[in-house]
Amino acid sequence: MTNSSFYKELALFIFQNFRNAKKIIELGVGFSPQTAIKLRQLLPRIEIIVVDKNPEALKGLDSYGLKAVQDDLFNPKLEIYRSTDLLYSIHPPLELIEPMKNLAERVKALLLIKPLSEDAYFYGFYKWKQVKLSPCTLYLWRNE
C-alpha cells in the first residue's frame, strides 16, 4: 500500500465509523495533511482541525477548509479539544503517545493511532483495541 492510498483508506475508515461526529482532530499533522484533506471532502459538515507544534506545518491548510491550530501536546490548551469525538495521529513520535492518551482521557474523546511498527512494539498497545486496516494495524483508545 502506498502512502497516498493509506491516507485515503484511513480517511474512509474514519468516515465510515465516525460520520456522526461533530469534531475530529488530527494530532501532530506535520507535513502530511492528506488524511485531514480527504476527511474535509468526505465530511463537509464536521469540524476538522489539524494540530501541530510547528507553525510551518500548518501554513496553507486553511485553504483546504481545515482549521489549523498550533499547540504543544505536552501542555495542551484544553479549549481546543473540548467536545471532540475523535483524536487521531499517524506515526506520532513515541514520546507523544502517552500525552495524546492523557489528552483523550481528559476531554473524553476516542484516540486512534497508527504508530510506526517499532513504536507499537516499544509502547505496548496491549490494552488498546486493535483495528486492522489492510496490512496496517491501528490502535484505538476508548476512555472507559
Radius of gyration of the chain (CA): 14
Distance CA 22, CA 74 (A): 25
Q: pTM for this one?
A: 0.93
63-104 pLDDT per residue, tens: 999 999 999 999 999 999 999 999 999 999 999 999 999 999
Please state the domain extents for the chain. 3-141
What CATH class has 3-141? alpha beta
If you search the block for the grid coordinates 495521529, which residue do you land on? 89
E strand or H helix that includes residue 68: strand 67-70
Please identify which residue in the block is written with the cell numbers 472507559. 144
Q: How many residues would you count in the chain?
A: 144
Confidence bin at 4 (pLDDT 50/70/90): confident
> pLDDT tens, 101-118?
999 999 999 999 999 877
Check residue 39 and report its DSSP letter. Answer: H
